[in-house]
Amino acid sequence: MKVYYIFKLKDEFVSLYKDSPSTLFLMLKNIYFLDRTEVDYGYHLFKQLISPFKKNELDKNLFIKYHQTIPYSKRKDIHIINNLYRNEISRLRINHYFMKLECEQNFSTFFDLLKNEKNLFACSFQKTDFFFLTDYSRKSLV
């Protein structure tokens, strides 16, 4: 299973790191793996990089837009795509500062659904995979 964290970056960091996403990934990875004694430092660095999501609005819009058009459901806070034709099971949870996407394959329809949102950056810290969602291409992940 692949786990992606999706962040909404502030405009200034997108313009700085658009051509070098690996640097951005390394910064986020260092924050993710920080020692507990350095939580304050990581929190302040994280707040400088990341814009918060409008969680309730995004939750509602995703559900309204897709609940009748794709093999999609929502249980509590978790958006689920269970598409047997594409052999896909993906779960997305939207938090205030990140989205957590769990995929049982190397792609997710959620990437396509979210790629028009501004400044989204996806990272899989365990698998060292990262990309801006605007650059997402399903072919590159399969």
pLDDT of residue 140: 45
pLDDT of residue 139: 42
Amino acid of residue 31? I
Q: What angle (nearest 5°) sits at the alpha carbon of residue 19, between those of residues 110 and 127?
A: 50
List C-alpha distances in Å: 64 to 8, 72, 91, 92, 102. Answer: 21, 11, 17, 15, 21
Interatomic CA distance for residues 138 and 22, integer angstroms? 20
Domains of the chain are 2-141 (3.30.310.250)
Question: What is the mean pLDDT for each group of 10 consecutive residues in the chain (142 residues)?
Answer: 94 91 92 87 90 90 78 86 85 95 88 88 92 72 45
E-assigned strands of 11-124? 72-75, 78-83, 88-94, 99-103, 120-124
